[in-house]
Structure 1
């Protein structure tokens, strides 16, 4: 089992504090969702786990080891893969070249996203937003990472491809953490763990079914 967590994590962007002592954990194999509206801190929490933003307080702990001072590239070398919301592919390289950076054989990626096969010779920067998302996630699927962090994985995808994407992520033999504005319907029936953030703090945590019941009880708010 792999675990990664934030412990009383604080992140500042200049004078503004984006995370206010956040504590949350993710374990794998399995899927954890960081849920929240824009400005909630969900993307910052993901970046803090990856090491692409520095903590002003608290710690990042991976498999019981404090990696707060370990740089992002070293976390990647140890088996952490981050798929950010933007600039997740090398736009000047072809689709084939992007895939070859992840693995010598990329048949698994083409099986996951057949739409990419006729695009292999295209420059990644010329693809649509949904196609770029498929390519970025294909590279993550090929990486064989122990921890996979994805910001809004299905952005720009059709409903069918989005559902396929969540299934692929759920089935990975890894600790998978995704950041979303809303809980995707396909994950409501799966054993995902949810941390809901608001204004830089965790306000609710629980298994997806438990989270929905507790969220639905809050006055004036519904998970749908």
Structure 2
């Protein structure tokens, strides 16, 4: 279930956002793409999904080169992208958003019971944290083989954020998250892979525990 970038390059006009990035996200399990704004973490996530084209390199999924496979076909094969923005259909109700992904909203409401009283509301009227819950509930209902999520816990309370990371880690899928910082809920979890990006290149690859130790050493220095 592994998905990877191999020597991937992405350009936005004259600017190159990824400079030959190679990284792998093994599954089932959680991989975190870390980096500040402008580091390339979101571009790497979108490149895996096929939402941005590569100007060089390749995307490999389960040993097959899918670089030329469009995003909608990757989605049909079980790859889902939850972007940071515009991840829900604002003009539809919460209920309608959920039933686009599954016949009924039951499993999604088990994950996020906070959505139950919001079912008749238009998704565009929800708070940022509520929209993240809705977007993730839809993705969880879709039973993706590969789930790519940009800033999953943005706007959520600490308790809901911790529950969200537990849900993602327990999916049994290849889960790739783009984050500015390593979430506390993942720091002590074994098997979490981290790729830290800086200015469009990979600055570090390893497990979450190694990354947390590296950050502590940096602070002491």
The runs of 5 or more residues in structure 1 that have no matched partner are none
Secondary structure of 1:8 counterpart = strand
1:43 maps to 2:42:
yes
Cα distance in 2 for residues equivalent to 1:55 and 1:23: 13
CA spacing shift, 1:221–1:27, aligned 2, 3 Å:
farther
Shift of 1:217: 3.4
RMSD: 1.1
Cα distance in 1 for residues equivalent to 2:58 and 2:131: 33
Alignment of 1:25-104 (within 5 A): 25-104=24-103
Q: Which residue is 1:213 aligned to?
A: 213
Cα shift readout 1:139-176 (whole Å, capped 9, x = no counterpart): 01001110000000000101111111111101011000
The runs of 5 or more residues in structure 2 that have no matched partner are none
1:204 maps to 2:204:
yes
1:15 maps to 2:17:
no
TM-score by length of 2: 0.97
Cα shift readout 1:23-64 (whole Å, capped 9, x = no counterpart): 000011100000000000000000000000000000000000
Q: Which residue is 1:190 aligned to?
A: 189
Shift of 1:108: 1.4
Shift of 1:111: 1.1
Cα shift readout 1:88-120 (whole Å, capped 9, x = no counterpart): 000111100000000002211101111100110
Cα distance in 2 for residues equivalent to 1:215 and 1:57: 32
Secondary structure of 2:26 counterpart = strand
Q: Which residue is 1:118 aligned to?
A: 117
TM-score by length of 1: 0.96
Q: Which residue is 2:136 aligned to?
A: 137
Q: Number of residue pairs matched?
A: 220
Shift of 1:221: 7.4
Secondary structure of 2:2 counterpart = strand
